[in-house]
Structure 1
C-alpha cells in the first residue's frame, strides 16, 4: 500500500502538491502516515468536528422553537396596538427541505417539474395560526428578531466574494430558506432579445439591475451576478445562448431576519390582517471582543446555565428598539424544528455551511457563555481536547470550514473519527456522512462496485485545499479510518481529487 501511494503522489499533476495522510485501525492502531502531524486547511472537513460536538454535547433529539409573539394593547374587533415579533431560535430548516433526508437513487436526477414543498411554508403555517386567532389589524411593526445569537453574520476570513452566493450566506438565529433565494435566467425567444429573470421566492427584497441578453444558439452562458457588501441591489448581466438551458443560481439574503419579517408581513396582509407599520429586523450587536483561545477550559459547564437555549427565546430590552413595553403579551404562533440529528445529516450530506455555523452558535449558547462564534469554537476545542485530540493539532475559527484560518492535522481528524466510533451517538453520526457512489457530496465518486456503498466520508474543498476523511470498508471486510488532505494544488484542477480517490482504493485493497 505504501508503495502504491508513493507512486500515485509522484504523478506529475500532483507531485508539487502538499499531501497529508493518516490511516488507522478502528482501535486507533496506526496503519500508514504521511505528514500526519502537519497542518492543513480542512475546508468542509471542519463539519466533522462541529457535528460530532453537537451530537455529543447538544443531543440527537434536541429541537428549537420559532415563535411569533404579540406585545401591546389588544382591542375589540381583533385590533392590536403594539408589535408582532417573529423570534428565531436557531432552527436551520425553516425551508421547503424534506426531512428526514432521503438519498437519491444513484444516477437518477430529480424531475425538474417536481417543485416540492414551498420554501416559505413554515412562515405560511405561522401566518395561518396568527389569522386563526382573530387578529384583524396591527397598529405597529412586524419584527424579525434574531437576538438569541449576537449579530455575527460572517466569520473571520470568509472570502468577500463568497458573500454573494448561497453557500456563503450570512448566519442568523432567524434563518429562512437557508438564507438564500433562487435566481433563474432563461433565454428569450430570439437572438438579441432580453433574457428573463425569475426570483423564487417572489419577494420584494432585492432591487434588480438586469442587463441580460439572448446570444446565438450554442453560445453558452456568461451570466454574472454581483452585489456590493451591505447593498440590496443585485446586478445581473451577461448573455445566455438561444435555446440554452436556464442558468440557476442561489443568491444569499443580505439580512435574513429582515427578509423573514417582510415575508410574514406580506402573508398576514394576504390573509386580511391590516398592518400600518413596517417590517424590520432586530439584531443584538456584540460589544465584547473575544479571542479564539487555543487553551482548554475556556467554557462554562452547561449545569451552571440558568436557562436552556430552547427556553431562551424571549426578546429583551424592547425600549432599545423604540417599542412600547405596555400592554400584554401573547404567543400567536409557533413552529418546532426537526431533531438535531436530522439536521446533522443535512449538514454533512449536503455540506451545508449555514447549518454548521448555526450548530456552532448553539454549542456556544448551550455550553459556553453566549451564542457567539468564539464561544462555539471554544466549546468545540474543549470537546476535542477531552476526546484525546492534541491541542496543537487544530485551530477552528468557524463551524463550516469556510474560514481560511482554519487548520487541522490528518492525525487529529483520524483521532476524532476513532473517538466517535466508541460513542453512543456514533451510528447516527456515521449515517450522516456521504456514502461513496450513493449520496451527498460523494454521489458521483467511488462508483466502482468494489467501493460503492463502502466509503463513508466527508469531503472538503476551499480554494487550493481539498480533504476527504472518514471510514472505508476494505476488501477483507475490515473497516479502517482515513484522513487525506491536500494543500496548494494548482487552481482549477482536479487531478488531486482523482489521486485522492485512488489512495482510498489502495487503502481498501490492502486492508
Structure 2
C-alpha cells in the first residue's frame, strides 16, 4: 500500500466518527437554541387565560413592572394599540405638570360698547369662556358611591343642583349692577380655543350623544342636555319628551314616537342631522316601561350658553333688543396634524407651572380702543378636583379641555394640535417615553387614530411616581370595587380597594392600566391592552380582570 492509499484509508476509517461527533454537537446546539426559556408561573397562567377560545383571536399587549421600572412580564409590549380612555392618563398628567393642581379658570360676563345713560348699554353683553369645564350642576369634589345618600327603594333619587346654576348666579350679578337695557346682542365667546369641535377621527355617530359633545372654551353643563322619554297613559297614546335644562335651543320632532303595549320594551331612537337643531325622536316605549333617559350633545355650546343667558337676563327685567349668538375663532394652522403635533417646543420650562390663559376679549384694565366692563364672573374649582371627576368617570369633554388649556397656557393658542404638542413634549423630553411608542390626536382617546404601546403606558405610570404631584394624580384613578369606572369590577375579589387603574373602551379595543397592591405587600405597575376582540363581547374584559388577579397574586 502506497502512502496515498494509506492516508485515504485512514480518512475513510476516521470520517464516520468525525461526522457523527459534528452531528451530535450541532444537534445539541440546535436544541439549546430552539428550546424556549423556562416560563415563569405568571407567564404560564396568563398564557392559559389568553388561550381561551373567547379571547384567543384578539390581539393582546401587556407590560408589568416593579415601581422602579424593573420588568416582570411582557407580551407585545412595543406594539401599538388603541388606548381608548387610557389616553386620559397621558393628558391629565401633562396638564397637572404644566398648570399645577390649584389652577383655576375664570368665566366673565363683560360689556362691549358704551353706556348711553345709566343702566342702558349701547353694545353687546358677552359671556367669555375661559376653559372652565364645570359650569354645571356636577358635584365637586367627587364623592365615592359608598358615601352618597342611599336611594330608598320605590322613591326617586334626590335631585342634584340645577345644571345652569352658575349661569343663573352670573345673571343675578349682572342684574345687581343696575343694567336695564341692552341695545345689542348677548354673545357666547369661546375664542380662547379655535372652533374645532371634533378632533380627527371622532365618529359621526358619537356627535348626537353626551359622551361625544363638541369641545368649546365656553362649556355649559358638560355641553349636553338630559332628554327623558316617558310612555303615555295607554298603548297608542303619544309618549312625552322632556329636555333638561329647559332653554330655547333644540326642537323635538316626535311625530313617529308612540306608546307601545305592555311588556313590549323600549325601542326609542334619536338622531340629529349634522348642523341641525331638530332632534328626531322615534320608535316606541312600552306603557309599563320606565322612562328612557339619554344625554344629548349640544351642537354649539357657545350659542346655547348665550341663548340661556339672554333668557335669564330677560326674566330679571333686562330688555335685550338683539339676538343670542356665538363668537367663534376659526382655525388657521394649515399644516398636517402629525407634522405640527411633532414640532418640538424648545423653550419649554419644566421647573415652573404655566398660568391658565386669559381670553383676549376679557380685558379688565387695559382695553385699548375697546370699552369693556366686567359685570359678573365665576371662578372654577381647582384643576385637581376636576381631574378626579375626569378620570373616575372617564369624562371625554373635560379631558379635551385639559389638552386645549395646556396648549393655551404654554403656546398662547388653545388649539387641538398645540395641546398635542405640549403632551408630546412632556412625554418625550420629561417622562422619557420613546417618541415612536405613541401618537395622540385628542385628549380623551375617542379618536380612532390614537395609538400607544403598553410599555409607554407603563413608563408613564412609573415616571409619575417620581413627581411631587403623584399622590394627587393617583387619587384621580378609579379604585377597584369602590368608585368610578371600576365600581363594578374587582369588588367581589381580594383585589377590592387594591387596584388603582384607568379603564378604556372604544369599539373593539379595550385597555386597563395602573397600579396593583399585591398580596405580597408590593405594588406593581401594569398595562393591559387588546384590540380586535369579538364585537359585542365582554369576554376580553373578563380575561383582563383575571390577568390582573394573577398579577396581584403572583407578586
Using the size of structure 1 for normalisation, the TM-score is 0.95
Where do residues 259-408 of structure 1 align in structure 2 (5 Å cutoff)? 259-290=304-335, 291-293=337-339, 298-299=344-345, 301=347, 310=356, 312-315=358-361, 328-386=371-429, 387-408=431-452
Aligned to 2:202, which of 135, 155, 158?
Answer: 158
Compared CA separation, residues 327 and 480, structure 1 to 2 (3 A):
closer
More off after superposition, 31-40 vs 208-217: 208-217
Deviation at 1:309, TM superposition (A): 5.8
What is the rounded CA distance, in whole Å, between the counterparts of 2:549 and 2:290 in structure 1?
36
Distance 2:282 2:338 in 1: 41
Q: What is residue 496 of structure 2 aligned with on the other side?
A: 452
Match of 1:16 among 31, 39, 57: 57
Q: Give secondary structure in 1 for the equivalent of 2:127.
A: strand
- Conserved? CA contact 2:341–2:420, under 8 Å: no
Aligned to 2:235: 191
Task: Indicate yes or no: 2:157 matched with 1:113.
Answer: yes
What is the match of residue 320 of structure 1?
Answer: none
CA contact (8 A) 1:194 1:213 kept: yes
Query: Is residue 170 of structure 1 aligned with residue 207 of structure 2?
Result: no
Larger mean CA deviation between 451-460 and 207-216 belongs to 207-216
- What is the aligned partner in structure 1 of residue 38 from structure 2? none
Stretches of structure 1 that go unaligned for 5 or more consecutive residues are: 318-324
* Residue from 483, 506, 525 that aligns with 1:481: 525
Of 205, 208, 217 in structure 1, the residue corresponding to residue 262 of structure 2 is 217
- Provide the C-alpha distance between the structure 2 equivalents of 1:136 and 1:349, rounded to a whole number of angstroms: 44
Q: Secondary structure at the match of 1:392?
A: helix
- More moved, 331-340 vs 111-120: 111-120
Residues 67 and 334 in structure 1, CA contact (< 8 A), matched pair in contact too: yes
Count residues in correspondence.
Answer: 502
**Match of 1:354, SS?**
helix
Change (3 A) 1:20 1:191: same
Paired with 1:207 and 1:301, the residues of 2 have a C-alpha distance of: 49
**What is the CA-CA distance between 1:480 and the residue it aligns to?**
0.4
CA change 1:400–1:219 in 2 (3 A) is same
Summarize deviations over 1:209-236 as a string: whole Å, max 9, x none: 1122111111110110000111111100
CA contact (8 A) 1:221 1:240 kept: yes
- Residue 267 of structure 2 aligns to a residue whose secondary structure is coil
Deviations 1:190-217 (A, max 9, x none): 1111111000001110111112211111
**Distance in 2 (alpha carbons) for counterparts of 1:257 and 1:16:** 45
Say if 2:101 and 2:382, in contact at 8 Å, map to a contact too: yes
Taking only aligned residues, the RMSD between alpha carbons, in angstroms, comes to 2.0
Q: 1:302 to 1:392 in 2, by over 3 A?
A: closer
TM-score (norm 2): 0.88
Cα offset for 1:326?
7.5
Range that drifts further, 392-401 or 214-223: 214-223
Report how far residue 57 of structure 1 moved.
Answer: 1.1
Kindly name which structure, 1 or 2, has the bigger radius of gyration based on alpha carbons: 2
Residue in structure 2 matched with residue 492 of structure 1 by the alignment: 536
CA contact (8 A) 1:292 1:378 kept: no
Cα deviation code 1:246-284 (max 9, x no counterpart): 100000000000000000000000000010000000000
Kindly report which structure 2 residues correspond to 1:495-510, keeping only aligned pairs within 5 A, or say none. 495-510=539-554
Unaligned runs of at least 5 residues, structure 2: 1-41
Name the structure 2 match of 1:322.
Answer: none
* 1:505 counterpart SS class: helix
Q: Distance in 1 between matches of 2:450 and 2:261?
A: 45
User: 1:311 deviation in Å?
Assistant: 5.2
State yes or no: 1:93 paired with 2:138.
no
Query: Partner of 2:79 in structure 1?
Result: 38
Cα distance in structure 2, aligned partners of 1:429 and 1:312: 25
Question: How do 1:414-425 and structure 2 match up within 5 A?
Answer: 414-425=458-469
2:288 aligned residue (232, 243, 250): 243
Which residue is 1:321 aligned to?
A: none
**SS of 2:520's equivalent?**
coil
Aligned in 2, Cα 1:166/1:182: closer, same or farther, shift over 3 Å?
A: same
> What is aligned with 2:454?
410
Match of residue 227, structure 1, among 272, 286, 304? 272
Q: 1:49 aligns with which of 87, 90, 99?
A: 90
- For 1:301 and 1:96, locate their aligned partners in 2 and report how far apart those are by CA, in whole Å: 39
Aligned residues of 1:42 and 1:460 also touching (Cα < 8 A): yes
> How far apart are residue 497 of structure 1 and its match?
0.2
| Alpha-carbon offset, residue 368 of structure 1 | 2.6
Select the structure that is richer in helix.
2
SS in 2 for 1:130: helix
Tell me, in whole angstroms, the C-alpha distance in 1 between the residues paired with 2:379 and 2:522. Answer: 41
